[in-house]
């Protein structure tokens, strides 16, 4: 079931309504540069240096595909969110000790169908489209993990550096596309 709400719509709604940039550092498509062994659709850092991951889903098949990924599984053990590589990390070491909360964000019309397949530890953010075409996001379920560390300042500096590199590359591509 596909909806008329795109990934970009969800990103904008989540950032506008839940994690505004004046209060949070929001990094789209964060991965290796942020010392993550996976890609986070949105990595959110609070002013107090707590990190949250937002995974965006635009369809039921997209959500089901996550369940079928055999590379890794996610477990919530002893108050810690752990992404375990099935082939390598059977010892259960956490892949990232800085993620304080994990959320799925998706169109509200998918809520009833996606809810049964989401893990219990995950928070839920739903996005609705209003008649004026504006998308609005709100929490349906919160998620906070215990026994995590604050995001280190040196990693925040790295995030700023990577974001400015990304910005200038996008600007350069947009200019080349106009030629």
Q: How many residues does the chain have?
A: 179
- Going by pLDDT thresholds of 50, 70 and 90, the confidence category of residue 91 is very low
Residue 127 in contact with residue 13, Cβ under 8 Å? yes
Q: How far apart are the C-alpha atoms of 90 and 82, rounded to whole Å?
A: 11
**What backbone phi and psi angles, to 5 degrees, belong to 156?**
-65, -40
In the chain, what percentage of residues exceed pLDDT 90? 31
Residue 43 in contact with residue 30, Cβ under 8 Å? yes
Is the pLDDT score of 108 beyond 90? yes
Whole-number pLDDT of residue 93: 35
- Summarised one tens digit per residue, pLDDT across range 121-178 is 889 999 999 888 888 888 888 877 778 889 888 888 888 888 888 888 888 988 888 7
Please report whether residue 2 resides in a domain.
no
pTM value is 0.79
Quote the domain boundaries for residue 80.
7-178
- Of residues 140 and 66, more confidence is placed in 140
Domain count, the chain: 1
Written as six digits, the tokens of 85 are 């590589």
Please report whether residue 174 resides in a domain.
yes
């Amino acid at each position: 079931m596909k909806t008329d709400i795109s990934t970009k719509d969800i990103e904008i709604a989540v950032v506008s309504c839940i994690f505004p940039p004046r209060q949070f550092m929001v990094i789209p498509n964060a991965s290796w540069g942020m010392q993550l062994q996976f890609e986070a659709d949105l990595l959110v850092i609070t002013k107090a240096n707590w990190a949250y991951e937002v995974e965006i889903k635009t369809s039921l098949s997209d959500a089901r595909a996550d369940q079928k990924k055999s590379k890794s599984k996610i477990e919530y053990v002893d108050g810690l969110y752990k992404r375990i590589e099935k082939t390598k990390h059977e010892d259960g070491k956490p892949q990232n000790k800085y993620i304080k909360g994990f959320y799925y964000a998706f169109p509200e019309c998918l809520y009833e169908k996606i809810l049964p397949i989401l893990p219990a530890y995950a928070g839920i953010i739903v996005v609705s489209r209003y008649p004026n075409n504006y998308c609005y996001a709100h929490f349906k379920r919160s998620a906070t993990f215990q026994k995590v560390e604050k995001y280190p300042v040196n990693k925040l500096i790295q995030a700023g550096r990577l974001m400015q590199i990304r910005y200038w590359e996008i600007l350069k591509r947009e200019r080349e596309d106009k030629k």
